[in-house]
Amino acid sequence: MAPISRADLSTNIGLNRSTISSIIQQLMDLHFVQETRLQEDRIGRPAMPLELNPHAGFAIGLEINVDYVTSIMFDFCGNSHRKLHQATNGRMNQHEVLMIAIQMTSELCEFGRDRGYPLFGIGIGLPGLVDPYQGKLVFAQNIGWRNLEIGKIFFTQFNVPILVENEANCCALAEFRYGTAKELSDFIYLSSNAGVGAGILINGELFRGSEGFAGEIGHMVINEEGNLCSCGRKGCWETYVAPQEVVKGVQQELSKGVESRLNEIAGDNRESLTFQQVVDAAHEGDTIAQKAILDLGSHLGTGILNLVHIFNPAQIVLGGAFGESNNLLIPQIKTLMEELVRVRPARTVSIVPSSLGLDACMMGAATLVIDQVVRDPLNWLH
């Protein structure tokens, strides 16, 4: 954020100079705002522009996902000071994973406090249904967690505000502030891990819905007679586009005895085949893998078209596994959309890969905290 003078603040906000000066003094006393070097204003008078003080405090962003825990420390200006990452695995129970997350958070707290920064709060991004209003993970199928009061657990440990949010929402917020959707007020981030979800930005704000569960687009039905979904219905979008569903389709093809490089890659253990291996084989020209990725692109295009018609976003950001295979997927999605629809929203939306990759969720989680402080700085530290 560029430095700004008191006079310009007064003009931009529409409050008089003395009110602005009084508010600024309060913010300076709390170290949220500082004066920068002396400059001349537009008519040549000396002016002392103001800027946010990066050392006002720090926020920690944490992501707990299927096979890793990762965290970041942001200063008040959103600069990253430290990142930590630790792999987890399906054999670990909930307590063990939470201990890793708490240990990691403690390490970042110590790092910040050693430098004299107060801790504003901790943001936590989680896969699955998250109730941000209660700070609770309701259900995360891919890690098998249910009804976890994670906000309370972290508050007991760290005694600072804890903000809990769905992973796709965190990613969307990070792409909006620091990534490919910077300053686009209406866009959709598509997340693809075990399932498929969306972070929806409307008018520069996350759209959470009445209970915080908006964006569960993996369960949008695209074929009423389709495959059975884990939610109990048939033909949900994620039964066609979730990475493990794509792998399942490939495994079925291989079981028919077709020729494919994937037979060598998987060896005797076809069950261990990964989405990334399918993508790599498609890049190398393997016909079975290419067909799987082309089909994925078409199915993605069908669902994206539905979203485009509902929300008219400026951009669709492909995250997670979709982002990593974007150079194969995006042309296919665009082809499908051009073939199917000739209406304006489908023609004008841009489809791009995430620019933040695996960092997006923890960056967004830390940003949730910074945003809350900025909204109400005088009350935050009370």
Does the protein bind Zn ion through residue 129 (CB under 5 A)? no
d(CA 288, CA 209): 40
d(CA 299, CA 236): 11
The H or E element that residue 60 is part of is strand 58-64
Q: Measured from the CB of residue 238, what is the shortest distance to Zn ion in angstroms?
A: 6
* Alpha carbon 166 to chain centroid, angstroms: 8
Comparing CB distances to Zn ion, the nearer of 246 and 265 is 246
Secondary structure (H, E, C), 247-306: HHHHHHHHHCCCCCHHHHHHCCCHHHCCHHHHHHHHHCCCHHHHHHHHHHHHHHHHHHHH
Comparing CB distances to Zn ion, the nearer of 174 and 196 is 196
SS3 content of the chain, % helix, strand, coil (to 5): 45, 25, 30
Q: Measured from the CB of residue 320, what is the shortest distance to Zn ion in angstroms?
A: 18
With contacts defined by CB under 5 A, name the span among 90-98, 111-119, 171-179, 235-243 that binds Zn ion: 235-243
Give the residue, chosen from 231, 294, 328, 341, that forms a contact with Zn ion under the rule CB under 5 A: 231
Q: Measured from the CB of residue 354, what is the shortest distance to Zn ion in angstroms?
A: 24
d(CA 168, CA 175): 10
With contacts defined by CB under 5 A, name the span among 62-70, 106-114, 153-161, 227-235 that binds Zn ion: 227-235
Give the residue, chosen from 229, 278, 289, 370, that forms a contact with Zn ion under the rule CB under 5 A: 229
Q: Measured from the CB of residue 240, what is the shortest distance to Zn ion in angstroms?
A: 11
Dig out the tokens for 284 from the structure: 């190398």
Q: Measured from the CB of residue 92, what is the shortest distance to Zn ion in angstroms?
A: 27
Beta-ladder partners of 136: 131
DSSP 74: E
Give the residue, chosen from 31, 83, 177, 219, that forms a contact with Zn ion under the rule CB under 5 A: 219
Q: Mask: binding to Zn ion, 258-277, rule CB under 5 A, as x and -?
A: --------------------
Comparing CB distances to Zn ion, the nearer of 7 and 220 is 220
Give the residue, chosen from 100, 236, 293, 363, that forms a contact with Zn ion under the rule CB under 5 A: 236
How many residues of this chain interact with Zn ion, rule: CB under 5 A?
4
Q: Of residues 66-95, which lie at the interface with Zn ion (CB under 5 A)?
A: none
Nearest to 123 by CA among 99, 101, 95: 101
With contacts defined by CB under 5 A, name the span among 209-217, 229-237, 244-252, 316-324 that binds Zn ion: 229-237
Comparing CB distances to Zn ion, the nearer of 239 and 354 is 239
Question: Longest C-alpha distance within the chain, in Å?
Answer: 81
d(CA 300, CA 242): 10
d(CA 277, CA 272): 10
Comparing CB distances to Zn ion, the nearer of 219 and 283 is 219
Dig out the tokens for 201 from the structure: 């930005």
Q: Mask: binding to Zn ion, 161-200, rule CB under 5 A, as x and -?
A: ----------------------------------------
d(CA 32, CA 55): 8
d(CA 115, CA 107): 13
Q: Measured from the CB of residue 307, what is the shortest distance to Zn ion in angstroms?
A: 16
Comparing CB distances to Zn ion, the nearer of 131 and 238 is 238
d(CA 9, CA 15): 8
Nearest to 241 by CA among 205, 206, 195: 195
Comparing CB distances to Zn ion, the nearer of 262 and 304 is 304
Comparing CB distances to Zn ion, the nearer of 141 and 263 is 141
Comparing CB distances to Zn ion, the nearer of 134 and 141 is 141
DSSP 234: B
Comparing CB distances to Zn ion, the nearer of 60 and 168 is 168
Which residues fall within 8 angstroms of residue 98, CB to CB, at 6 or more apart?
64, 150, 153
Q: Measured from the CB of residue 192, what is the shortest distance to Zn ion in angstroms?
A: 15
Q: Measured from the CB of residue 195, what is the shortest distance to Zn ion in angstroms?
A: 9
Q: Which residues bind Zn ion (CB under 5 A)?
A: 219, 229, 231, 236
